[in-house]
Structure formats: C-alpha cells, structure tokens
C-alpha cells in the first residue's frame, strides 16, 4: 500500500508536525526547572523530551534523582502556568504547512489533529494558526483519555468522522505517532522536519517519510 487516491482524510500530529513549538516549550520548562533551583536544557534537548504529554515532559526534563511523582507534578504545573502565557511567543507553522493545509481544505480531503499536548492548548494553537473549520476534529490529551501510542482516540475520531481506517493517512514526527497510526491500521507517514530522526520513524513503523509538507500530496493522489 503506497500511492492512492482512495484516501479521504489526513490526521496530523501537532507539535513537530504542523507547528514548531520547541522554543516556547523549552523556555517554559526551563523556567519551571529554574524555579526548582535546577538548570535548564538547550532547546534541542527538548526534541527528545516532547511527545508523550506534559507529565512525561517534566519527568524527562528533571534530573534522575528528582523524578519523584510530587516533584514531577509540581514541575508540570509550573511549566503549564508559564506556557499559558508564552505558548505562542515563538511558535509558528513549519514552512509549507499553511500551503498544504489550504490545498487540502480546498479539496475533498478531510483533516483532523491528534496530539498528546493538553487539549486546551491544542485547541488554542489550532485556532491561532489555522482558519476556522480547517479541521473536522481536534483532540489533545484529556484526563481519563489514553494518550498516543494508544490508538483508541484515533479510532474514535475516525468513527465520528464516519471513516474507515483504510481511508486515512496518519502523519507525525515521532515513533509514538508511527506506533499510534500503525496500531489503528492507518497508512503512516513520518515527517523529517520535526523532533525525531529517520531511524526512529522507520523503526516504529513509518511506511513513508516526507521531507517537505507538499510531498504528502503524492500519497493523496494530488500531485
């Protein structure tokens, strides 16, 4: 299964796929760490910390000897409080994403977003950077909902969109995304402009890799 005009929808990951959120995340978590009397990390280091939600982000950013649940939760809360005011200071869509999304929106292809970022921030980001109604469904992390790589939220989204998984391309930048899409049974495309390398994407199930957003059109029979 590779090229097909049969796909009817694309579900995108957010951080590292549609939006370059790295700087604002790094600044906010470094602020939280400094508040605990700890040093921050270079923004590059956050490429490996982001991907499994804000609790895991805090856990990975903390030194090993400070990873007790109380400190992690405190650090997460302090990160979220700062990020609340700084989530769009430097955040931007990746080069070529607005053009891709506009082209798909003007076609028959439907779109959705599935992220491990807290749901509230996912909606704020989508509202800030994309036109209203661009995406049929937008889902972030919410209490009681399993996060990626658990495929159940993706499966539920597709049911609500009345789509079969065979009609869907799932696009992301991490192994977590690749595993999510594969477990659900979607065609899985990894992007190389995000937070992880090609080895991880292939190892975790990417069926294709793209290096620029417009390359996705090929897999949708639109190039």
Ligand X SMILES: O=C(O)COP(=O)(O)O
Nearer to ligand X (CB atom), residue 104 or residue 176: 176
Give alpha helix (H) positions in the chain.
Answer: 22-35, 46-49, 54-61, 69-86, 97-105, 119-129, 152-160, 175-184, 198-203, 216-219
Rounded CA-CA distance 93/97 in Å is 6
Rounded CA-CA distance 223/221 in Å is 6
Instruction: Based on the shown chain and the rule CB under 6 A, indicate whether residue 215 belongs to the binding site for ligand X.
Output: no
Instruction: Based on the shown chain and the rule CB under 6 A, indicate whether residue 51 belongs to the binding site for ligand X.
Output: yes
Per-residue mark of binding to ligand X, 76-115 (x: CB under 6 A): ---------------------------------------x
Rounded CA-CA distance 126/91 in Å is 12
Q: Which of 47, 110, 117, 182 binds ligand X (CB under 6 A)?
A: 117
Cα→Cα distances 43→68, 106, 109, 145, Å: 24, 35, 35, 29
Instruction: Based on the shown chain and the rule CB under 6 A, indicate whether residue 59 belongs to the binding site for ligand X.
Output: no
Cross-strand partners of 209: 190
Smallest gap, in angstroms, from Cβ of residue 216 to ligand X? 17
Smallest gap, in angstroms, from Cβ of residue 178 to ligand X? 12
Instruction: Based on the shown chain and the rule CB under 6 A, indicate whether residue 181 belongs to the binding site for ligand X.
Output: no
Nearer to ligand X (CB atom), residue 119 or residue 136: 119
Cα→Cα distances 80→40, 74, 207, Å: 16, 10, 34
Rounded CA-CA distance 99/213 in Å is 8
Q: Which of 7, 9, 11, 13 binds ligand X (CB under 6 A)?
A: 13
Smallest gap, in angstroms, from Cβ of residue 167 to ligand X? 22
Nearer to ligand X (CB atom), residue 16 or residue 190: 16
Rounded CA-CA distance 123/214 in Å is 24
Greatest Cα pair distance in the chain: 54
Instruction: Based on the shown chain and the rule CB under 6 A, indicate whether residue 153 belongs to the binding site for ligand X.
Output: no
Pairing of strands 19-20, 9-12: unpaired
Smallest gap, in angstroms, from Cβ of residue 50 to ligand X? 5
Instruction: Based on the shown chain and the rule CB under 6 A, indicate whether residue 180 belongs to the binding site for ligand X.
Output: no
**Count of residues engaged in binding ligand X, rule: CB under 6 A:** 12
Q: Which of 7, 116, 139, 149 binds ligand X (CB under 6 A)?
A: 116
Q: Which residues bind ligand X (CB under 6 A)?
A: 13-16, 50-53, 57, 115-117
């Amino acid at each position: 299964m590779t090229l097909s005009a049969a796909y009817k929808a694309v579900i995108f990951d957010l951080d590292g796929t549609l939006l370059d959120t790295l700087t604002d995340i790094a600044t906010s978590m470094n602020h939280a760490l400094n508040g605990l009397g700890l040093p921050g990390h270079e923004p590059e280091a956050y490429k490996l910390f982001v991907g499994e939600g804000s609790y895991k982000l805090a856990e990975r950013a903390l030194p090993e000897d400070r990873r007790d649940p109380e400190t992690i939760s405190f650090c997460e809360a302090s990160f979220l409080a700062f990020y609340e005011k700084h989530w769009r200071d430097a955040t931007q869509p990746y080069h070529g994403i607005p053009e891709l999304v506009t082209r798909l929106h003007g076609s028959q292809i439907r779109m959705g977003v599935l992220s491990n970022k807290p749901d509230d921030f996912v909606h704020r980001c989508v509202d800030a950077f994309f036109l209203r109604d661009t995406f049929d469904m937008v889902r972030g992390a919410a209490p009681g909902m399993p996060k990626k790589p658990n495929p159940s939220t993706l499966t539920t989204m597709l049911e609500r969109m009345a789509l079969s998984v065979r009609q869907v391309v799932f696009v992301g930048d991490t192994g977590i995304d690749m595993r999510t899409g594969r477990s659900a049974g979607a065609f899985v495309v990894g992007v190389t402009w995000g937070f992880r390398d090609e080895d991880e994407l292939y190892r975790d199930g990417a069926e294709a890799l793209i290096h620029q957003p417009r390359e996705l059109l090929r897999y949708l029979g639109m190039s």
